Amino acid sequence: MIKRAIDKRFERAVLNGWKFTTIRKQPWPLDCPIMLYRWEGKPYRSKHLDVAEIEVEELLEIRVSHEPDGGPVIFSRETIDGQPLWQTEGFEDRGQLEDWFSREIEPGESETLFLIRFRVVEPALQNGDPVVVIDKKALTRGKEGLCESFKDGLWKVSFCEQWCGYYEPEQLEKQIS
């Protein structure tokens, strides 16, 4: 599966469906599952934490221009389906969107980028998701995994090699039989 990074600040917005577009220099493929992830710590020096599997629904060109005097950033598309672009991008207001792109595009410059519209297919399993265990089968969010004893009184819970967590017995919603 193709993986693409997102900034940690957008994780909740993606999972809640508030952020459903991203502006990038290169297009993402259509009709292909993509796993969005964020870095656990420093980029390229820490592990990936999967956020959600997505599918690209639409690719559009967008022209982004930064005024020569370092003034506002102008976008050729201001709305997506009647929603302000800053909102579909996961920002709290237009100022945050402009600040983000003012660091990406030099004053007096203009770039044609790709506005990628996507939908969440399935959120990734996260450490801390509630887990129910019945006869050593672990269940969470409709997925079935395996629960096995581990060391120091912890139970190891894994789901399709996508995620693995270690739980104290009282953290599980039902004790292992």
Residue 169: the pLDDT is 59
**Using CA atoms, how far apart are residues 88 and 77, in angstroms rounded to an integer?**
12
Is the same domain home to 106 and 158?
no
**Using CA atoms, how far apart are residues 67 and 147, in angstroms rounded to an integer?**
57
Is the same domain home to 102 and 143?
no
pTM beyond 0.75: no
Is the same domain home to 53 and 101?
yes
The more confident residue out of 150 and 103 is: 103
Q: Count of domains in the chain?
A: 2
Q: Print the domain residue range for 161.
A: 132-171
Is the same domain home to 50 and 84?
yes
48 pLDDT band, cuts 50/70/90, is: confident
Is the same domain home to 28 and 110?
yes
Is 18 exposed, middle or buried (CB count within 10 Å of its CB: 0-12, 13-18, 19+)?
Answer: middle
Is the same domain home to 83 and 138?
no
User: CB neighbours of 75 closer than 8 A, spacing ≥ 6?
Assistant: 62, 63, 64, 85, 97
> Is residue 176 domain-resident?
no
Residue 176: the pLDDT is 41
User: Would residue 99 be called left, alpha or beta, if left means φ above 0 and alpha means ψ between -120 and 50 degrees?
Assistant: alpha
**Mean pLDDT across the chain:** 82
Is the same domain home to 37 and 110?
yes
Answer whether residue 156 shows pLDDT above 80. Answer: no
Is the same domain home to 10 and 87?
yes
Is the same domain home to 114 and 143?
no
Is the same domain home to 53 and 139?
no
